[in-house]
Amino acid sequence: MDRSDLARAIYDRAHLTGEFTLRSGVVSHEYFDKYLFEADPDLLREIASALALLVPDHTDALAGLELGGIPLATMLSQRTGLPAVFVRKEAKTYGTCRLAEGGDIDGLHLTVVEDVVTSGGQVVTSCGDLRERGAVVETAVCVIDREAGGREALRDIGVELRPLYTLTELTP
């Protein structure tokens, strides 16, 4: 699937209109329901293939953020051969008490994987949490950058956001 066909498929599958309150608190009249494109195996496979081109060569592992980044990181791991870790919003308070499940991250170059980035708040928090645990985080990839400050917020902490598409690119 070429880039424009993939954009159209994502838009057709996941674009909703109405009134939606985003995680950032902003009210939007359009919404991309990422679970609709993540639950479609053919579309998810195409997205992962396209995202694989955005992953830096020096990446040791992919860090899928809870919840939407996890299916993306899993498929991206299949496409790239890189291991994946699954990052909780908060470390467990029981059992292993880990923030990142799937392996030790200390000293690894992680590429953070997220579905949709708006303000970047959770991605910024998760990058900080991963760094506190010894990971090197310089890059994040996402399917959609809503162009609402996320790229700038990540740049402020030294993380480059590499979106597959911006909202402008997806909107017909």
Global confidence as pTM = 0.94
CATH of the domain at 51: 3.40.50.2020
The confidence score (pLDDT) of residue 160 equals 98
Distance, CA of 77 to CA of 56 (rounded, Å): 13
Residue percentage of the chain with pLDDT more than 90: 84
Question: Tens of pLDDT along 49-96?
Answer: 999 999 999 999 999 999 999 999 999 999 999 999 999 988 777 777
**Side by side, which strands form the sheet with 109-117?**
100-101, 84-87, 61-65, 109-117, 136-145, 160-166
The confidence score (pLDDT) of residue 171 equals 86
| 116 part of a folded domain | yes
Is residue 74 helix, strand or coil?
helix
| Helix segments in the chain, DSSP class H | 3-14, 34-38, 41-52, 69-80, 121-132, 150-156, 167-170
Counting the structural domains of the chain, the total is 1
| 33 part of a folded domain | no
**pLDDT, the chain, mean:** 94
| 36 part of a folded domain | no
- Contact (Cβ atoms closer than 8 angstroms) between residue 78 and residue 45: no
User: For residue 163, is pLDDT > 90?
Assistant: yes
The confidence score (pLDDT) of residue 28 equals 87
The confidence score (pLDDT) of residue 109 equals 98
| 17 part of a folded domain | no
The confidence score (pLDDT) of residue 98 equals 87
